Amino acid sequence: MSSSYLESVRKQFAYYKHLGDQTMAQLSEEELFQMPSPESNSVAVIVKHLWGNMLSRWTNFLTEDGEKTWRQRDEEFENDLKDKAEVLEKWETGWTCLFGAIDPLKNDDLERIIYIRNQGHTVTEAINRQMMHYAYHVGQLVVLGKMMKGAAWKSLSIAKGASKSYNEEKFAQTKGKEHFTDEWMNKS
């Protein structure tokens, strides 16, 4: 597999982090802790779960099982963080751990076998598994943010009703190779 996979992975993870950053930037401290129903999760709880998952999966990623014995997964779903600063600290700590694990990876690492709950994965499979898991939860953050902000929500992608003009602009440009996240990351 070429090095373009690892470059794409890094950009894709950065993009999902960016979506979460931009969502939480639009929310008040109170909104971070709101739950749409008693059985749902707040933005803060989802962040806490992502933090726990990231620390477990990416700490000693190549040498230890991804489900650490010290992880307390059930506690990740308790809405007990104190304030926005603590939510953001968990968010940053999780992503720092993730990038610290994937940044040094080389193509030769991609077919190595690692374990999550004793289930073997190639490094590629483990990365893909986690990326999809994080995309799922970041999507939840965005939906919660949009629901709470309503008309005050600042779109994180193509704004509603703007697809035609967006496509016209894109098709007016010369074809070229670039990662789709580059334009979004350069906007902020």
**Over the stretch 143-179, which tens digit does the pLDDT of each residue have?**
999 999 999 999 998 888 889 988 888 898 888 887 7
Token pair for 10: 């890094």
Whether domain 3-154 has CATH 3.20.20.120: the reply is: no
Helix (H) or strand (E) holding 119: strand 119-122
When pLDDT is cut at 50, 70 and 90, the band that residue 126 belongs to is: very high
Q: Are 6 and 109 in contact (CB under 8 A)?
A: no
pLDDT at 182: 75
Token pair for 107: 């193509």
Q: Where are the domains of the chain?
A: 3-154
Other Cβ atoms within 10 Å of 8 Cβ, number: 14
Show contacts of 115-118: CB within 8 Å, 24+ apart. 115/65, 115/66, 116/57, 116/65, 116/66, 116/67, 117/65, 117/66, 117/67, 118/65
Other Cβ atoms within 10 Å of 93 Cβ, number: 13
pLDDT > 70? residue 102: yes
Q: Are 98 and 133 in contact (CB under 8 A)?
A: no
**Over the stretch 42-87, which tens digit does the pLDDT of each residue have?**
999 999 999 999 999 999 999 999 999 999 999 999 999 999 999 9
